[in-house]
Chain A
Amino acid sequence: MDMLLMGLCLGVAGVVFVALAFGAAMRSESWNSSVQPELPLVQAAAPARFFSDRVAVPRSVPPLQGPQVPIEVLLLQIENHVRMEQAAAESFLAFPTHALLHSKTTSPFVN
């Protein structure tokens, strides 16, 4: 019985020793390796952008025109709107008043 227990203890001690030796060998191999472990890349900070390529449209603002309007009609409406706004601005410049500056347009483009 004593011999059996001694053998068991020696066996367990041998397994522990072999495990420790294996672990130490693996650690030294990884430190001595010329291939460095791959580290997670630091994400580059995105460059600050003052201007955006796209115009942000607030959700509360409905689209100006439905897709059913031909683009030629839409462009004509924009041109008419610009002409009407210029006329309104000319009136204001000829006789500057708060009322003329804030006069409501009848342009169908924005109404």
Chain B
Amino acid sequence: MTHELLNGLSPTEAEKVLELGTRLIVPTGTSLFRLGDPADRLFLVKRGRIRLTLPMQVRGREEDIFVEERAPGQTVGWSALIPPYRFTLTATAPLFEAEVIALSQEALRQYFAANPAAGHKIALNLAVVIGHRLQLFQTMWLREMQRTVEVRSA
């Protein structure tokens, strides 16, 4: 399986990065991390799906509202590499158990320091992941604002 975070790395480099990780099973309905938790690990989805949610007040109750779903090969929890190192979403395995590879912040830093070329490629891949999220949500925000403007000016 190819992971988006490891694009452009040689098979040997990718193998070395994966060896830094720990395999984790996320049972059905349990959280991988919760909003506000310290983000000290980044996760590569290996099997199953990870659902990302944000809390919203619905009829006076706080409900976890679907934001995004991550599939095998995709990355979850890049807050581990971005200050202030706190998760800004809640991640759960919704319907089936999921399997992820957990890469600790510290292990990645040490690897980047020892292998700057590979670290540069991973940083660029991470920028693609973050940039895509940004573009996606700024588009969604604009569409919601457009609807609000139409309702208010109707």
Contact = CB atoms under 8 A, between A and B. Distances in A.
A81 B20 CA distance: 38
Interface string A64-108: 000100010011001100110110111011000000011001000
Nearest to B56: A78
B142 interface: yes
Given A101-B142, A102-B146, A71 B65 contact: no
A90 B144 CA distance: 15
Contacts of A71: 58-59, 61, 63
Given A58-B152, A71-B58, A75-B58, A88 B65 contact: no
Contacts of A86: 68, 136, 140
A110 B152 CA distance: 14
Contacts, number: 54
A66 to B, nearest CB: 11
Query: Which label, helix, strand, loop or mixed, suits the secondary structure of the B interface?
Result: helix
B143 A110 contact: no
A33 interface: no
A90 B136 CA distance: 7
Interface of A: 55, 58, 60-61, 67, 71, 74-75, 78-79, 82-83, 85-86, 88-90, 92-93, 101-102, 105, 110
For the complex of A and B, the 4 pairs showing the least CB-CB separation, nearest first, are: A89-B139, A79-B66, A89-B140, A89-B136
Interface of B: 56-59, 61, 63, 65-68, 132, 135-137, 139-140, 142-144, 146-147, 151-152
